[in-house]
Amino acid sequence: MKQNNKIILIICMLLGVFHTDAQQTTPIFRGQVLSEGRPVTNANIQIDKKVLHTDDQGLFSIPVIIGSTINIQITAVGLHTLKQRILLESTDSTPWIFTLERADQQIEEVEVIGLTKVKEINRQAYNVTAIDATKLHNTTLNISSALDRVAGVRVRESGGVGSNFNLSLNGFSGNHIRYFIDGIPMDNFGSSFQINNIPINMAERVEVYKGVVPIWLGSDALGGAINIVTSTKDRSYLDVSYGYGSFNTHRTVINSGWTTDKGFTVQLSAYQNYSDNNYKVTVNAADINTGAYTQNATVRRFHDQYHNEAVVAQVGVVNKPYADRLLVGMTVGQNYKEIQTGARMVTVFGGWHRRGTTLMPTLKYQKRDLIKGLDVTLNANFNLGSEQNIDTLDRRYDWFGTFKSNGSNGERSKQLYEYRNNEGIATLAANYRLSERQSVALSNVATTFDRKGENKLDPQSSSYEVGKQTFKNIMGIGYSYDVEGVWSSTVFVKYIHQNNENGDVISNTMDRFGYGIASTYFIDPNLQLKASYELTNRMPTAYEIFGDVENQQGNFSLKPERSHNVNLGANYGWKSGDDHRFNLGGNLIYRHAFDFIFNRLNNNQSQLVADNREGVSTRGADADLHYSYKNFLTFGGSLTYQLLRNKQKYEPDYTGISPVYNDQMPNIPYLFGNTDLGLTFRNLGGKGNVLNVNYNLLYVHRFWLYWPSLGGTSLSDEKREIPEQLSHDVSLVYSLHNGRYNIGLEMRNLADTQLFDNFSLQKPGRSFTVNLRYYIQKAK
Amino acid sequence: MMKNNKWTSLALASMVALGAYSCKDDGADPAPIGGNFVLAVTPIASTGVADYLLTTDDLESGTVSIKGNGIEQDGTYRYYVMHNNKFFSMLYGQGNPGAVTTYSMVGGKLNKLSDFQTETVQAFAPVNEDLLLLKIPRAITNPLANFYQVNTNSLLITNEGTIDVQKVADNGESAFFTWIKQVGNKVYAPYMSIQACCSDAFGTAFPNNAWIAVFSYPDMKLEKVIKDDRTSFIGRYFRDGLAEDEKGDVYAFSSSVAALGGVFNSTKPSAVTRIAAGTTEFDKSYYFDVEAVSAGKNITNWIYVGQGKFVVQTTTKEEKGAYADGKRLGILDVYNKTFKDVAGLPEISTIKAITYNNYTARDGNAYVGIALTDGVSYVYKVNAASATATQGVRVEGGSITAVSRVE
């Protein structure tokens, strides 16, 4: 692409913006893009230097000057590019029709040129990264492991399949990050339905909002949000995959949808994960009788089985005058999890386990142009599921699986605790287009929590328990101004109200007000700048206030936290000839959180308790670079650096400046990255057959478990650290019959190194998985 | 392609600039000092780490810091005991197994000998060549305490067994040993009677009695329970209430902190009683009402410095608590039944805590750690004869939690 002088261009654009802003009577050129008589949605329209996209009807419009000549270029996935010069003599109310010819190009090739939904998301003003999940559908990844490849994101796992995970986004983690499915908060989905056990095949794409979160994702996320977008294809399809791998791991995913011509639709998804997780670990294994440790003993994990099963069924109608989509559904799931170790691998369990169920009726309603310009989305669900914690063996185990009786206190804390959280969520999002460029949005999310639980082994202590309730409402109003392909800005305010009640004993109410702005500007279609700021508030969750009656102790006096949240980003794509394409992106982030909520051990060291830390600041940068050669090779990577500092100047009950004021926050990875190399061999062994070979390298720099400045760092000082991680993963996927049959082979941690995300908790060594997938779809 | 290069390098330059902007500044750290004294220092901003261990050869002057120095001690709570020229660092792991790290002293530095696993215990003490550990239940549904005998030469658990604490109490409640002490060839274990239930596990209906269970060793057979009704229970939760003087007489203090439903319910004052050498009964002729001579203060901790003198920590009536370690120091003379407040201490409002695990050579002096609210700590030399405290070594970077010496 020949590039003009950028400065002049910027001035022109600013003038253009100014100009169009000032005059609402500017003549508008309207066009419609069709192919084989049908509208082409989301076609890429380039008129001189401006880029815009067609809507659902294939329509687009642009202000023009009568008498001028415009150069128009239209590209769309699967269609031939159309270039045309038009002399504008007058503007007409009927749109100019452009007809594109169907192309026989490979889809993959066009993706680079056309603007996929994923790329469209990435072009928003927010600091956002979207993962195209469809490219990973032939793997056995779950959503959390796919997220691990995004710049700024680090997923820390405590073990194998189904193990505890903690996703951190620019250094924020836990409840600072909120999760959504199709824009619906996942807060109440229960342990059977979490990002570490939902297969990637359930998703079409996954959006990662770092820092500022758009108001239509009504949330009080402080550090960012993850939105999983499931397939919304109004057609009939069947997608079945099964994987078998090391440690007796089985995974099955079935996704299917069926839509009649009259608009009746049934969508059914089911999945299953099972693993013994009996991988080998190297530990100092204590003899339960003498207490002597066998140094560096290699043992197999023996009590770490995990399985979960879930079915998501929805029936309803699509494309009706009263609703684009109206679906009622039921999510049913369960999980079983054996607990092998405590917070450290020296603590071994042989009987303790957990169970959980999800039973959740759902309602989804969506309508564009309910009245002209007004789009409405309504969702509601209620989780009737329950959770159980089962620790009933009075035993002490060692790593060799032998045990002895240890009185009557269970393995850790004797209980058969069962509770229901009775959590419900209702969300309403409305967007009204005031004009071509202006829109206002309103979102409201209400959540309820009402816990009832009992320890079935101790009715006496259960009788001391009282009902625990939380009601939270988040309302957001935003205004957007959008000149497509040039710049867009959103300003928004959020008001959060929360009420907590602990039986009749105590109650409190918290109200918080936040606001923000997000802007993006295209210097040219390939060079985008982004900036966003938010004063964000995060309320304590019901679990932090009331505890989970197992590992988390409640803290009713926990204060909401708030943060200044600044993001700057740039993205630039270019090519060298037609064969070499590059994309470079980078972000700078700054956060300063007040009353930062973090988990510490309680005074008896038996449970975690959430507490406020006066301040934590984060400065960080991430960058990613991607290169592709024709449709044969892709190579890329991302690198993240973040520095979190303790900004608490005075510790409780102390008057002097804290010795760790301004120290780096411990136990948080601060330098990590990944690279991937992909090769695609087309028409290998037959026309339409494709072999994909992928290599992924994950790197995490070592970091200290406790305050970096305290204690000696020589070997004899035994300062605890989480060592550097370097993991090589390779996958081969052979697709036949244009993707109908797929055979995948994955090898993870190829070098069989000892990997740790959390101090002493060793992750699996080398593993192999075979994955078979069958996919058919019927054109509508 | 000039343009592309320009933009690429601009992006890279901004990355580099950010890297520089976020660079960490490193403060200079004082060089570590070696010596046979071991100080345990806990960071004042807790992140789940217990202490850092520092060594020094001088408790009376100088400065030590955990900034860049010290051996990290994992876990929130650590307890330390010296025996057989070894330093034992014990993890309090609640329901999880405990762990013990053993060090010897080599050239003024702690030298790690081994790790071994134990249970999390509530009382421990040297007995013969062993460390005796007690894991004590606090639920009426569980009557069995566990004992473990750790050989300090092999550093292994050589024997273990159980004690029925409800049989020891024999009053419908549960016996909770406050501490253990070897006396002659017996193990003395003073205890509090606790109801072990009803959301008030440490509450008791027997606030006006003192008991010491006497066990044989090493078979830990309960031989008798010594009883007294002149004081409330001996010692306190996790605090040693017994001391043996040069003549073999055993002195015992009662804090008088028995409670029910969070309300103190003992009518007996904080007092000292005695078990005369060679007997296993309270000496009815000896009784020392500490409250009567100290303007109503009660003892929370003590350390025997020789010649019948103790350095004691006390609380006033207002400060009194079942788990409160006193921030006041006094000199208690159990022979002459006198009490004197110690002079030369920091203003009490600036004291965060006084360590309960302190060092004495039984030469009339105790070395006591005092953590101040400004985040700095000092070791004070407390002289019993003059009842004065002198500021010694300054400790930076955290609050001192223990002072000890390893040969």
pLDDT in tens, B33-60: 689 999 999 998 866 677 999 999 999 9
Position A127 in a domain: yes
A109 and A121 fall within a common domain: no
Question: Please, which pLDDT band fits residue A276 given cuts at 50, 70 and 90?
Answer: very high
Q: Which of A448-462, A578-592, B235-249, B262-276 has the lowest mean pLDDT?
A: A448-462
Residue B96 near residue B121 (C-beta atoms within 8 A) = no
Is the pLDDT reported for residue B27 higher than 80?
Answer: no
Q: State the Cα–Cα distance between residues A685 and A141, nearest whole angstrom.
A: 27
Residue A762 near residue A752 (C-beta atoms within 8 A) = no
Position B147 in a domain: yes
Q: What is the pLDDT of residue A649?
A: 92
- Mean pLDDT, residues A168-175: 80
Position B253 in a domain: yes
Partner residues linked to A470 by β-bridges: A449, A500
Domain C-terminal end among A113, A144, A177: A113
Most confidently predicted of A458-472, A677-691, B68-82, B385-399: B385-399
Is the pLDDT reported for residue A125 higher than 60?
Answer: yes
Tokens of A590: 């700054």
CB proximity A598 to B under 8 Å: no
Q: Which of A92-106, A214-228, B52-66, B227-241 has the lowest mean pLDDT?
A: A92-106
Q: Which of A148-152, A493-497, B14-18 has the lowest mean pLDDT?
A: B14-18
Q: For residue A76, give every residue at least 6 positions away whose Cβ sits within 8 Å of its Cβ, in sequence order, or none.
A: A33, A35, A40, A42, A43, A44, A100, A114
Position B15 in a domain: no
Position A37 in a domain: yes
ipTM for the predicted complex comes to: 0.84
Position A93 in a domain: yes
Q: What is the pLDDT of residue A112?
A: 36
Total number of residues shown for chain B:
407
Position B36 in a domain: no
SS3 A353: strand
- Mean pLDDT, residues A647-658: 90
Partner residues linked to A509 by β-bridges: A499
CB proximity A583 to B under 8 Å: no
Report the amino acid identity of residue B125: A
Q: What is the pLDDT of residue B33?
A: 65
Residues 530-559 in A contacting B (C-alpha not used; CB under 8 Å): none
Of B43, B155, B197, the CB nearest to A660: B43
Position B241 in a domain: yes
A329 and A421 fall within a common domain: yes
Q: Answer whether A717 sits within 8 Å of B97, measured CB to CB.
A: no
SS3 B140: coil
Question: Please, which pLDDT band fits residue A1 given cuts at 50, 70 and 90?
Answer: very low
Most B CBs within 10 A among A347, A641, A654, hence the mutation to make, goes to A654
Find the residue in B nearest to A588 (Cα). B18
A181 and A73 fall within a common domain: no
- Mean pLDDT, residues A727-740: 90
A108 and A140 fall within a common domain: no
A83 and A130 fall within a common domain: no
Residues of A in contact with B66 (CB under 8 A): 710-711
Position A1 in a domain: no
Question: Please, which pLDDT band fits residue A163 given cuts at 50, 70 and 90?
Answer: confident
Position A61 in a domain: yes
CB proximity A400 to B under 8 Å: no
Report the amino acid identity of residue A505: V
- Mean pLDDT, residues A270-289: 91
Position A361 in a domain: yes
Is the pLDDT reported for residue B176 higher than 90?
Answer: yes
Most A CBs within 10 A among B5, B55, B74, hence the mutation to make, goes to B74
Give the count of domains, chain A: 2
- Mean pLDDT, residues A463-467: 71
Question: Please, which pLDDT band fits residue B26 given cuts at 50, 70 and 90?
Answer: very low
Cα B132 to Cα A126, B135, B381: the distances in Å are 62, 10, 30
Residue A136 near residue A200 (C-beta atoms within 8 A) = yes
Most B CBs within 10 A among A707, A714, A716, A719, hence the mutation to make, goes to A707
- Mean pLDDT, residues A641-645: 93
Q: What is the pLDDT of residue A11?
A: 37
Residue B52 near residue B72 (C-beta atoms within 8 A) = yes
Question: Please, which pLDDT band fits residue A463 given cuts at 50, 70 and 90?
Answer: low
- Mean pLDDT, residues A504-510: 86
Q: What is the CATH number of the domain that holds A215?
A: 2.40.170.20
A521 and A413 fall within a common domain: yes
Q: What is the pLDDT of residue B66?
A: 95
Question: Please, which pLDDT band fits residue B23 given cuts at 50, 70 and 90?
Answer: very low
Q: For residue A191, give every residue at least 6 positions away whose Cβ sits within 8 Å of its Cβ, in sequence order, or none.
A: A335, A337, A354, A356, A387
Is the pLDDT reported for residue A13 higher than 60?
Answer: no
- Mean pLDDT, residues B354-363: 96
Is the pLDDT reported for residue A245 higher than 70?
Answer: yes
Distance in Å, alpha carbon of A234 to nearest chain B alpha carbon: 42
Is the pLDDT reported for residue B169 higher than 90?
Answer: yes
- Going by C-alpha positions, the residue among A184, A217, A429 that lies closest to residue A312 is A184
Most A CBs within 10 A among B3, B104, B399, hence the mutation to make, goes to B3
Domain C-terminal end among A113, A137, A162: A113
Of A406, A601, A711, the CB nearest to B66: A711
Question: Please, which pLDDT band fits residue A131 given cuts at 50, 70 and 90?
Answer: confident
Report the amino acid identity of residue A53: H
Question: Please, which pLDDT band fits residue A115 given cuts at 50, 70 and 90?
Answer: low
Tokens of A254: 């079935």
Domain C-terminal end among A74, A89, A113: A113
Find the residue in A nearest to B374 (Cα). A656
Q: What is the pLDDT of residue A22?
A: 36
A101 and A145 fall within a common domain: no
Find the residue in B nearest to A576 (Cα). B1
Q: What is the pLDDT of residue A453?
A: 84
Q: Answer whether A605 sits within 8 Å of B8, measured CB to CB.
A: no
What is the gyration radius of the CA atoms in chain A, in angstroms? 27
A263 and A183 fall within a common domain: yes
In A44-127, alpha helices (H) = 107-113, 117-122
Is the pLDDT reported for residue B11 higher than 70?
Answer: no
- Going by C-alpha positions, the residue among B69, B103, B98 that lies closest to residue B83 is B103
Owning domain of residue B266: 121-283
Report the amino acid identity of residue A518: A
- Going by C-alpha positions, the residue among B186, B183, B191, B182 that lies closest to residue B125 is B182
Question: Please, which pLDDT band fits residue B139 given cuts at 50, 70 and 90?
Answer: confident
Is the pLDDT reported for residue A537 higher than 70?
Answer: yes
Q: What is the pLDDT of residue A505?
A: 77
Question: Please, which pLDDT band fits residue A16 given cuts at 50, 70 and 90?
Answer: very low
Q: What is the CATH number of the domain that holds A31?
A: 2.60.40.1120
Find the residue in B nearest to A582 (Cα). B4
B235-239: long-range contacts, CB 8 A cutoff, minimum separation 24? B235/B178, B235/B179, B235/B190, B236/B178, B236/B300, B236/B322, B236/B323, B237/B122, B237/B176, B237/B178, B237/B192, B237/B202, B237/B322, B237/B323, B238/B122, B238/B123, B238/B178, B238/B179, B239/B178, B239/B179, B239/B300, B239/B301, B239/B325, B239/B356
Q: Which residue has the tokens 């824009």?
A: A183
- Mean pLDDT, residues B196-206: 90
Q: For residue B263, give every residue at least 6 positions away whose Cβ sits within 8 Å of its Cβ, in sequence order, or none.
A: none
CB proximity A457 to B under 8 Å: no
Q: Give the number of beta-carbon pairs within 8 Å between A and B.
A: 203
A456 and A604 fall within a common domain: yes
Distance in Å, alpha carbon of B95 to nearest chain A alpha carbon: 5
Q: What is the pLDDT of residue B59?
A: 96
A370 and A501 fall within a common domain: yes
Position A76 in a domain: yes
Q: What is the pLDDT of residue B3?
A: 44
Give the count of domains, chain B: 1
Q: Which of A21-35, A117-131, A438-452, A562-576 has the lowest mean pLDDT?
A: A21-35
Q: What is the pLDDT of residue B83?
A: 94
pLDDT in tens, B97-118: 778 899 999 999 999 998 888 8
Q: What is the pLDDT of residue A495?
A: 95
In degrees to the nearest 10, what's the CA dihedral of B286, B291, B292, B296?
180
CB proximity A74 to B under 8 Å: no
Q: Which of A460-464, A505-509, B23-27, B396-400 has the lowest mean pLDDT?
A: B23-27
Position B325 in a domain: no
Q: What is the pLDDT of residue A91?
A: 61
Q: When comparing pLDDT for A246 and A110, which is higher?
A: A246
Residue B294 near residue B245 (C-beta atoms within 8 A) = no
Q: State the Cα–Cα distance between residues B190 and B177, nearest whole angstrom.
A: 6
Owning domain of residue A656: 117-778
CB proximity A347 to B under 8 Å: yes
Percent of chain B with pLDDT over 90: 79
A53 and A200 fall within a common domain: no
Is omega for the bond preceding A560 within 30 degrees of 0, making it cis?
no
Residue A692 near residue A684 (C-beta atoms within 8 A) = no
Is the pLDDT reported for residue A3 higher than 60?
Answer: no
Position B87 in a domain: no
Residues of B in contact with A718 (CB under 8 A): 71-72, 112
Name the DSSP letter for residue A341.
B
What does the mean pLDDT of chain B come to? Answer: 90
A132 and A87 fall within a common domain: no
Q: State the Cα–Cα distance between residues B386 and B239, nearest whole angstrom.
A: 26
